[in-house]
């Protein structure tokens, strides 16, 4: 597209308007590669998470065939040539729509509103934009398949461990694909959005305040997309915590009662020094209070949400620098993150 634009400028002495749109360059040079990275991360981390469910015996043996059928169905949909053909046709249609003026020339996210018919514009509309759209929609489709896998496993009676140190029944690792994919997706989409907003600030005199509501809405929606599927495990985690408190609470009670009968007022008190009984009681009490009592019903934490918010802020920093000095931007970021 750049070569065609330079050639047209050489012969006609007219510049290509859409090249002034920073969202185009961010879309093709930043977001497009990041979508491919997000897709690969989701595939790898999703495979590892599913493998751990089987390897660590969270899936009951009687339900292994059903669980493998859930994974197999998702893999068949992922590898379906029909689905990719449909996504490709949708991507081409969006490019044609932008060429005909039905959509903005740069796509739904844009900075420059004017354009003209040119070889570079035709190339962008029929090649560059469809490739971007295809990879983007395929990435979201793969995310939808992972959500389907999570939903399938959430309906299985998993063998959760209330005493597990992750305080999430042992399946806290299921959040990792969501965090990996959500972070890269936020960075990719945020780069295109902020580049478009930066173009409007530079060329049309828009202000940062015009985009704040859109930015917060974007971060909120992306965070919901990343973490909402994990909420399907809340009923199982809640039930496991309730059962764990009952079962392990009874275990602690029985141990304390047996220890009291043995040591308090009994003949064994002369052997008190060096006895491991009280150390075992301390270990049991610590495990119960730290893990069972504090078991969470959410697979993700506030720290995970803040991490995604920080990633979302990265593409916004250059936009902030268009209206504020570096020192002002640093002060604002420090105020957001550490309150100073």
Which of 287, 50, 57, 48 lies closest to 148 in space, CA to CA?
50
Which of 116, 91, 315, 95 lies closest to 196 in space, CA to CA?
315
Which of 235, 75, 223, 259 lies closest to 149 in space, CA to CA?
75
Report pLDDT for 113. Answer: 62
Report pLDDT for 273. Answer: 53
Report pLDDT for 163. Answer: 87
Report pLDDT for 269. Answer: 56
Report pLDDT for 19. Answer: 79
Per-residue tokens: 129: 């934009």
Q: Which residues of 56-88 are buried (b: 16+ CB within 10 A; e: fewer)?
A: eebbeeeeeeebeebbeebeeeeeeeeeeeebb
Per-residue tokens: 135: 């990879």
Q: Is 260 exposed, middle or buried (0-12, 13-18, 19+ CB in 10 A)?
A: exposed
CA 182, CA 180: separation in Å to the nearest integer?
6
CB 208 within 8 A of CB 201: yes
Q: How many CA atoms lie within 13 A of 150 on its CB side?
A: 27
Which of 208, 196, 202 lies closest to 105 in space, CA to CA?
196
CA 72, CA 93: separation in Å to the nearest integer?
31
Report pLDDT for 227. Answer: 92
Report pLDDT for 176. Answer: 93
Q: In a structure prediction context, what are the per-residue pLDDT tens digits for the chain, which is 340 residues long?
A: 888 777 766 777 767 777 788 888 899 999 999 999 999 999 999 999 999 999 999 999 999 999 999 999 999 999 999 999 999 999 999 988 888 888 887 777 777 766 667 788 888 889 999 999 999 999 999 999 999 999 999 999 999 988 888 889 999 999 999 999 999 999 999 999 888 888 888 887 777 777 888 888 888 888 888 899 999 999 999 999 999 888 888 888 887 777 777 667 655 555 555 566 667 767 777 777 788 888 899 999 888 988 888 888 888 888 877 776 666 666 666 665 555 5
Q: Rounded to 5 degrees, what are φ and ψ at 229? A: -60, -25
CB 121 within 8 A of CB 105: yes
CA 232, CA 182: separation in Å to the nearest integer?
18
Report pLDDT for 217. Answer: 87
Report pLDDT for 37. Answer: 95
Per-residue tokens: 6: 């330079």
CA 218, CA 191: separation in Å to the nearest integer?
12
CA 245, CA 292: separation in Å to the nearest integer?
6
CA 91, CA 135: separation in Å to the nearest integer?
9
Distance between start and end Cα atoms, the chain: 46
Report pLDDT for 116. Answer: 66
């Amino acid at each position: 597209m750049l070569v065609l634009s330079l050639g047209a400028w050489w012969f006609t002495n007219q510049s290509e308007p859409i090249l002034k749109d920073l969202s185009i360059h961010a879309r093709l040079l930043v977001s497009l590669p990041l979508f491919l990275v997000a897709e690969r991360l989701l595939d790898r981390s999703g495979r590892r998470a599913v493998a751990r469910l089987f390897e660590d015996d969270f899936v009951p043996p009687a339900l292994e065939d059903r669980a493998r059928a859930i994974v197999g169905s998702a893999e068949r949909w992922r590898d379906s040539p029909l689905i990719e053909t449909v996504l490709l046709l949708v991507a081409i249609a969006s490019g044609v729509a932008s060429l005909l003026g039905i959509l903005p020339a740069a796509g739904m996210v844009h900075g420059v509103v004017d354009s003209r018919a040119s070889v570079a514009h035709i190339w962008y509309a029929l090649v560059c934009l469809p490739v971007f759209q295809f990879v983007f929609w395929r990435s979201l489709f793969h995310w939808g398949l992972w959500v389907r896998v999570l939903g399938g496993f959430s309906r299985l009676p998993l063998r959760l461990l209330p005493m597990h140190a992750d305080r999430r029944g042992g399946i806290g690792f299921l959040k990792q694909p969501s965090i990996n994919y959500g972070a890269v997706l936020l960075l990719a989409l945020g780069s295109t959005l902020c580049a478009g907003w930066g173009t409007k600030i530079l060329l049309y005199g828009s202000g940062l305040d015009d985009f704040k509501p859109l930015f917060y809405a974007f971060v909120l929606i992306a965070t919901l997309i990343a973490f909402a599927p994990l909420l399907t495990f809340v009923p199982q985690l809640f039930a496991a915590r309730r059962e764990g408190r009952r079962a392990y609470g009874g275990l602690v009670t029985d141990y304390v009662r047996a220890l009291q009968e043995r040591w308090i007022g009994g003949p064994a008190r002369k052997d008190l020094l060096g006895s491991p009984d009280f150390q075992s009681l301390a270990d049991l009490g610590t495990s119960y209070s730290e893990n069972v009592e504090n078991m969470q019903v959410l697979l993700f934490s506030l720290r995970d949400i803040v991490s995604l918010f920080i990633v979302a802020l990265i593409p916004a920093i250059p936009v902030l620098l268009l209206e504020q000095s570096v020192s002002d931007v640093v002060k604002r970021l420090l105020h957001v993150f550490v309150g100073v």
